[in-house]
């Protein structure tokens, strides 16, 4: 388990499959990078995603505000960050960035609200106690 108050960073390399014909990262790939960072943040806190599925819990992006700053390019080494900044009984909000690792140049930033839902119905449900506890320590 990592320090819940630290900003989580996930290293990512830009591959050709991430880019357009000009070698610039396709805009939707930033969403993938951020999704991976949020998922790995959850894992780093000791929460098993598979166990959540078995308990009828899923998480969905409810809202996202995204700002592209500078394009990433083929072979860039990036850092995708995840930092929880707010929560309620049924959602959590993350501040996220994609940075170029070498100089920490901001490439893209977002605020992402993730809602907890019942997997079988798709209806909102309360965040599990362990997740609420982690968020209370983090925010």
Q: List, by residue number, the catalytic residues.
A: 20
Beta strands across the sheet bearing 57-68: 8-13, 77-87, 91-100, 106-118, 57-68
Output the six-digit token pair for 36.
């991976």
Burial class (CB in 10 A: 0-12, 13-18, 19+), 18: buried
Contacts of 91 (CB under 8 A, 6+ apart): 62, 113, 114, 115, 116, 127
Cα distances (Å, whole numbers) of residue 101 to 25, 41, 97, 98: 15, 18, 11, 9
* 112, 61 Cβ separation under 8 angstroms: yes
């Amino acid at each position: 388990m990592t320090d819940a108050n630290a900003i989580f960073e996930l290293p990512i390399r830009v591959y050709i499959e991430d880019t357009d014909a000009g070698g610039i990262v396709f805009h939707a790939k930033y969403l993938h990078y951020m999704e991976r960072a949020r998922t790995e943040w959850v894992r780093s806190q000791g929460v098993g995603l598979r166990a959540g599925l078995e308990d009828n819990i899923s998480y969905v992006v409810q809202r996202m505000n995204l700002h592209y700053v500078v394009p990433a390019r083929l072979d860039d080494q990036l850092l995708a960050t995840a930092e929880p900044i707010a929560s309620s009984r049924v959602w959590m909000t993350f501040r996220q960035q994609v940075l170029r690792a070498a100089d920490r140049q901001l490439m893209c930033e977002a605020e992402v609200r993730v809602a907890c839902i019942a997997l079988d119905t798709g209806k909102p449900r309360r965040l599990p106690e362990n997740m609420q506890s982690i968020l209370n320590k983090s925010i």
